[in-house]
Amino acid sequence: MNDTLTQPEFGMLASTVWLSTRAMILVAVILSALGIASLVGFLLSRRETMGVDSAIVRRYNQKLRVWWLMTAIFVFGFLLQRIGVVILFGFVSFWALREFITMTPTRRGDHRTLFWVFFVFTPLQYILIALGSHPPSFVPQNDYYGLYSIMIPVYASLFIPARAAIAGDYKRFLERSAKIQAGLLICVYALSYAPALLDLDLVRTGGEPWPGSNVSVLIFLVVIAQLAAVLERGWTKLAGRHVIAEKINGSRTWEGVLGSMVTTGLIAAALSWATPFYPWEAGVLAAVVTTMACGGAMTMSAIKRDRGVTDTGTLVQGHAGVLDQIDNICFAAPVFYHLTRYFFSA
């Protein structure tokens, strides 16, 4: 008897498993952790005599509010199933791209180019993600990965400077075109690989079918990317000595990054039960995610330093914008997706 599943059978299996028991347990673990962290934050804010800097406590509680908001939005998207998650990330990309473009002034000649970027290429990328490898019967049957993987870096990147040139404004032409291309690449193309994880037919090492839900793999990516940023700051305060690039961001150190890689790797190994990865595989992937998350944070710091701004926007009062919250996911998502697709996809 042949136990190997064909591609259509994998697709049917993926479509029937949305929120598995493992995914629901993982969500419950996250909610419990946030609840405990919120209780700690409440107690610290009520006890000023505990010797903890009030500014640190205030920032800690602000970060928790952001995480609660992100969790609530994610849960709402998961209730709408796969199409809801894709639409959710589409709106996040639109918002983040708006913040990115707002940071740098545009000229009148860019307006029609930006119309194409916001209202054609951004939704088209997520429509192709939604179609994926198993499109519904009423659309042409195809593996749309071949389109959404090149649509922005090839077609949009060629279209943007051509459309800007047609507008007839040559002043700072290269700078303006590159800025729009970079924003579309980071905020839309890179982030879109997070919901694209839901379309993979996942297997364990050796080809054994994985009966779990891809939702837990998406949650795994988001949690590890967010933890990497927090743990990097923590390790920098505890053992930071060598600043990576002082003129870009004086608060990020090599010790912080290495400490975060090890710690997130251990946490990822502990959460591997919710994924198709074995513990050591989850640890390696977490180290890669941490490296990319640090790269994303450093890149956005360089852009903000160049533009003379502190934050990309305002998500929660007293806290940074959407792009500041997801820059780590933007840089980690495409690398995590392709590693998962190459090593753990049928």
| pLDDT tens string 203-245 | 998 888 888 889 999 999 999 999 998 899 889 988 888 899 8
Is 0.75 surpassed by the pTM of this model?
A: yes
Helices 254-270, 214-239: crossing angle, 10 deg rounding? 140
Decide if pLDDT at 13 tops 50. Answer: no
CB 134 within 8 A of CB 15: yes
Facing residues of 209 across strands? 203
Dist. CA 219–CA 275, nearest whole Å: 10
| Least confident span in 65-69, 195-199, 247-251, 302-306 | 65-69
328 compared with 136, residue with greater pLDDT: 328
What are residue 78's phi and psi, to 5 degrees? Answer: -65, -30
Decide if pLDDT at 3 tops 90. Answer: no
Dist. CA 20–CA 276, nearest whole Å: 13
Q: How confident is the model at residue 313 (pLDDT cuts 50, 70, 90)?
A: low
| Least confident span in 230-234, 263-267, 270-274 | 230-234
Dist. CA 36–CA 112, nearest whole Å: 49
Dist. CA 217–CA 26, nearest whole Å: 10
CA dist 138 → 129, 146, 284 (Å) = 16, 19, 40
Q: What is the mean pLDDT of the chain?
A: 86
Mean of the pLDDT values across residues 117-124?
97
Dist. CA 144–CA 312, nearest whole Å: 32
pLDDT over 90 percentage in the chain: 51
With tokens 């507008």, the residue in question is 167
Decide if pLDDT at 45 tops 80. Answer: no
- DSSP H or E segment with residue 282: helix 279-307
pLDDT at 124: 97
10 compared with 339, residue with greater pLDDT: 339
Dist. CA 74–CA 65, nearest whole Å: 14
pLDDT at 76: 81
Q: How confident is the model at residue 77 (pLDDT cuts 50, 70, 90)?
A: confident
Decide if pLDDT at 252 tops 50. Answer: yes
Q: What residues contact 103, with CB distance under 8 A and at least 6 apart?
A: 303, 304, 307, 309, 312
What are residue 132's phi and psi, to 5 degrees? Answer: 55, -150
